[in-house]
Structure 1
Amino acid sequence: MRLLTGLRAFHYTARCGSTTAAAIEMGVSQPTVSAQIGALEKQFGVQLFLQIGRKLMTTEFADSLLVITNRLFALEEEAHSMLMEAEGMLRGHLRIGAVGPYNVMPVLAAFQKRHPRIYVSLSVGDSSQIVDRILNYHADLGVLVHDVQDERVESVAYRRQPLVVFAHREHPLARRGSLSVHDLHGCEFVGRESGSTTQRVFNQALERAGVRVKQIMEIGSRESIREAVANGIGLGVVSEVAYVDDHRLVPLPIDDLDAATYSHVICLRERMKSRLVMSFLELVHQLRAELEATDRRLPSAELAVRPLAGRAPIEGLGLGTNP
Structure 2
Amino acid sequence: MSGLSLLAALKAFDATARAGSMTAAARVLAIQQPTVSSHIQRLEVDFGVELFHRRGRRLELTSFGRTLLDYTRRTFSGEEDAHALLAAAKNHYVGRLVVHAIGPHNVVPVLKLFTEQFPLVKVAVGVGDSRTITEKIFDYQGDVGVVLNHADHPDLFGTPFRTQRLVVFVSIQHPFAQRATLRLCDLQGQRFVIREEGSTTRRVFENELKERGIEVQVALEMGSREAVREAVAQGLGLGVVAETAYVPDPRLTRLNISDTSMATRVHFICRQERRHAPLISTFLGMADAVSQRLIDTSEQPV
The equivalent of 1:312 in structure 2 is none
- Per-residue CA deviation, residues 8-45 of structure 1 (Å, 9 max, x unaligned), is 22111111222123234334443342233334445555
- Note if contact 1:189-1:213 (Cα within 8 Å) is conserved in structure 2: no
- Note if contact 1:158-1:262 (Cα within 8 Å) is conserved in structure 2: yes
Distance 1:275 1:235, change over 3 A: same
What percentage of residue pairs aligned between the two structures are identical?
42
Q: Which runs of 5+ in 1 are unaligned?
A: 300-323
Deviation at 1:205, TM superposition (A): 4.6
TM-score by length of 1: 0.81
Output the amino acid matched with 2:232.
V
Q: Distance in 2 between matches of 1:66 and 1:206?
A: 42
Q: Distance in 1 between matches of 2:61 and 2:71?
A: 14
Q: Distance in 1 between matches of 2:183 and 2:208?
A: 9
Q: Does 1:161 align with 2:168?
A: no
- Note if contact 2:129-2:198 (Cα within 8 Å) is conserved in structure 1: no
Q: How does 1:225-264 map to 2 (within 5 A)?
A: 225-254=228-257, 257-264=260-267
- Note if contact 1:182-1:211 (Cα within 8 Å) is conserved in structure 2: no
User: Which of residues 63, 68, 72 in structure 2 aligns to 1:69?
Assistant: 72
Q: Distance in 2 between matches of 1:60 and 1:216?
A: 38
Distance 1:50 1:147, change over 3 A: closer
Deviation at 1:138, TM superposition (A): 2.0
Q: Which runs of 5+ in 2 are unaligned?
A: none
Distance 1:182 1:95, change over 3 A: closer
Distance 1:220 1:28, change over 3 A: farther
Deviation at 1:207, TM superposition (A): 6.0
Q: How does 1:84-95 map to 2 (within 5 A)?
A: 84-87=87-90, 89-95=92-98
Q: Distance in 2 between matches of 1:23 and 1:34?
A: 9
- Note if contact 2:162-2:300 (Cα within 8 Å) is conserved in structure 1: no
Output the amino acid matched with 1:273.
H
Q: Distance in 2 between matches of 1:254 and 1:21?
A: 53
The equivalent of 2:191 in structure 1 is 188
- Note if contact 2:163-2:266 (Cα within 8 Å) is conserved in structure 1: yes
Give the secondary-structure state (helix, strand or coil) at the position aligned to 2:173.
Answer: coil
Q: Distance in 2 between matches of 1:259 and 1:232?
A: 24
- Note if contact 1:191-1:215 (Cα within 8 Å) is conserved in structure 2: no
Output the amino acid matched with 2:214.
R
The equivalent of 1:298 in structure 2 is 301
The equivalent of 1:13 in structure 2 is 16
Give the 4+ runs in structure 1 shifted more than 6 A: none
The equivalent of 1:217 in structure 2 is 219
Give the secondary-structure state (helix, strand or coil) at the position aligned to 2:24.
Answer: helix
User: Which of residues 132, 136, 143 in structure 2 aligns to 1:133?
Assistant: 136
User: Which of residues 111, 114, 117 in structure 1 aligns to 2:117?
Assistant: 114
The equivalent of 1:308 in structure 2 is none
TM-score by length of 2: 0.86
Q: Which has the higher contact order (CA 8 A, sep 6+)?
A: 2
Give the secondary-structure state (helix, strand or coil) at the position aligned to 2:90.
Answer: coil
Aligned length: 297
Q: Distance in 1 between matches of 2:174 and 2:62?
A: 57
Q: Distance in 2 between matches of 1:127 and 1:119?
A: 23
- Note if contact 2:184-2:260 (Cα within 8 Å) is conserved in structure 1: no
Q: Distance in 1 between matches of 2:251 and 2:32?
A: 53
